[in-house]
Structure 1
Amino acid sequence: MVLTDTHTHIYYEEDPENRKSVIQRCIDNHITRLFLPNVNTDSITLIDDICASYPEMCFPMLGLHPCDVKANYQEELANIHSAINNRRIYAIGEIGIDLYWDKSTLEIQRIAFKQQINWAKSLGLPIVIHCREAFDEVFEVLEEEKDDKLRGIFHCFTGNSEQARRAIDLNFYLGIGGVVTYKKAGLDVVLKEISLDNLVLETDAPYLAPVPYRGKKNESSYLIYVADKVAEIYETTIEQVAEITTANSVKIFGI
């Protein structure tokens, strides 16, 4: 059995011994493929370091997180774009629109989002979308950019059935993480209307830890709890969930 965490910030754990322990717990739980989203210029070297240490397990992506789209965003984008030319990456991400923290930056978030979508198209790469309280705004951009090159993952999908189907119709997989284990989230009801063939799994570690660790620091080894819950929803085995969602991740990332 091979489980794939398609979205983890494991690189925030900089202590070598702690990192080694986290990686070992992943291996013990059959989580042997970790995809690492970038957030800004500062995190590039952190991702480089862990990917160099664990090249068979850790795979990088690069992008500017919408919460890091500030006044100097074009400088940040230039630095990230330059970094893309110097290393192999597997997606542009995480990118998108976040209106939870700051609505005043919507216009420059849109510009940065579209700019990075075009990077992905030119490189033949998927995008990994961060969308928080911004489904309408994100879908508006995606409809504008829609073509046969646009594809990727809706990271941390928590939308309704209509939004799920709309994302899938735009050639996106739904990234399912710890929220699926929360009783009042309602995501289990949404997934019952969506095929497992449209899903990938993720943790977003160190955020959004699943039950039984909700409210605590998340880590990639906890993906096992997400997979267990998804297996319960689809009335299948965790092995089947692992097989399908990992195969989906290979389709997306090409590895």
Structure 2
Amino acid sequence: MIITDTHAHLYSEQFNDDRTAMVQRAIELGVTRFFIPAIDSTYYNAMLDLEASFPQNIFLMMGLHPTHVKENVEEELAFVKKCLDTRNFYAIGEIGIDLYWDKTLLKKQQHAFKTQINWAKEKNLPIIIHCRDAFDEIFEVLEEVKDDKLYGIFHCFSGNLEQAKKAISYNMKLGIGGVVTFKNGKIDQFLSEIPLTNIVLETDAPYLAPTPFRGKRNESSYITKVVTKLAEIYNVSEQEIAEITTKNSKDIFGI
């Protein structure tokens, strides 16, 4: 059984004491493909080190995270563009809009989001969307830029059924992780109405650990809890969940 974690910050400082053992734990459970989103320039070298340690398993993305859009946004965007022009990445992400922490930088976040979407189209790459308290703002941008070159993943999807269908209409897969196991997560109540062909698995490690690890550090091996929950929701085997979601990830990332 091959399981794909389409979103994990495995370079995080929270893994500094046991990173290799943590990755090995996941691999032993069949989690052999890890797609690694970028945050900003300060994490770039750690991403490269992670890739060098597990070259057969780690696949890097490049982008500027919306919560790291600050006054130096142009400098950070220039760094992203330089990296994209220097080597291969498998997606542009994570990018998007986050209004949970700070609403004053909305215009800068919108600018960064649109700029990076355009680069994704130029390079025929998927985008990985971060959305927090910003569904309307995200959809407004996607409506402006939608075309046959727009595709990717709506990372850590936590909206309702209507929002799920709207996200899919922009050629996005839904990234499903630990939230689906939460009693108050809500997405488990309608997810069966979304075809499995529109779903990919993720952890967002070290964040959003699934039940029974909620509140603790998340890691990629815990994605098996998400597989088990989805098997219950869709009334299929865990093997089928793994196969279909990994195929979906291959359709997105091209590998």
- Which residue is equivalent to 1:89? 89
- Residue 14 (structure 1) shift: 7.7
1:157 aligns with 2:182: no
CA RMSD of aligned residues (A): 1.1
Equivalence for 2:170: 170
Q: CA deviation at 1:177?
A: 0.5
- Change over 3 Å in CA distance of 1:17–1:215 after alignment to 2: closer
Quote how far apart the aligned CAs of 1:13 are.
Answer: 4.6
The 1-side partners of 2:168 and 2:190 are apart by 13
The alpha carbon displacement at 1:23 in A equals: 1.2
Identity of aligned residues (%): 58
**Residue equivalent to 2:109:** 109
Shift of 1:190: 2.0
**Structure 1 unpaired stretches of 5+:** none
* Alpha-carbon shift at residue 19 of structure 1 (Å): 1.3
Secondary structure of 1:45's counterpart equals helix
CA distance in 1, matches of 2:13, 2:52: 15
Residue in structure 2 matched with residue 125 of structure 1 by the alignment: 125
Aligned residue number for residue 237 of structure 2: 237
Unaligned runs of 5+ in 2: none
CA distance in 2, matches of 1:230, 1:83: 36
Q: In structure 2, what is the equivalent of residue 78 of structure 1?
A: 78
Q: What letter matches 2:93 in structure 1?
A: G
Task: Answer whether contact 1:62 1:89 (CA < 8 A) is retained.
Answer: yes
Structure 1 residues 121 and 161: CA distance shift in structure 2, 3 A: same
CA distance in 2: counterparts of 1:131 and 1:17, whole angstroms: 30
Q: Aligned partners of 1:207 and 1:17: how far apart in 2?
A: 17
Q: Against the structure 1 CA distance between its residues 171 and 137, is the aligned structure 2 distance closer, same or farther, given a 3 Å change threshold?
A: same
Kept after mapping to 2: 8 A contact 1:13/1:19: no
Residue equivalent to 2:59 = 59
Aligned positions of 1:1-255 closer than 5 A: 1-13=1-13, 18-255=18-255
Whole-Å separation in 1 of the counterparts to 2:122 and 2:190: 34
**TM-score (normalizing by structure 2):** 0.98
Deviation of the 1:15 alpha carbon: 6.4
Structure 2 CA distance, aligned partners of 1:38 and 1:105?
A: 20
Alpha-carbon distance in 2 for matches of 1:150, 1:244:
22
Structure 1 residues 167, 93: CA separation in 2 closer, same or farther (over 3 Å shift)?
same
Query: Secondary structure of the equivalent of 2:147?
Result: coil
Q: Distance in 2 between matches of 1:22 and 1:198?
A: 28
Instruction: Tell me the TM-score normalized by structure 1.
Output: 0.98
Partner Cα separation in structure 1 for residue 41 and residue 74 of structure 2: 12
Of residues 58-67 and 42-51 in structure 1, the stretch that sits farther from structure 2 once superposed is 42-51
Deviations 1:4-60 (A, max 9, x none): 000000111586761110111011210000000000001111111111111110000
Separation of aligned partners in 1, 2:221 and 2:131: 24
1:63-121 deviations in Å (ceiling 9; x for gaps): 00000000110000001111122221000000000000000000110000000000000
The change in CA–CA distance for 1:212 and 1:92 in structure 2 (over 3 A counts) is: same
Change (3 A) 1:15 1:189: closer
8 Å CA contact 2:14–2:206 kept in 1: the answer is no
Deviations 1:195-251 (A, max 9, x none): 111000000000000001000000111111011101110011110000000000000
Question: What is the distance in 2 between the residues matched to 1:197 and 1:148?
Answer: 18
Equivalenced residues, count: 255
Aligned-partner Cα distance in 2 for 1:34–1:151:
19
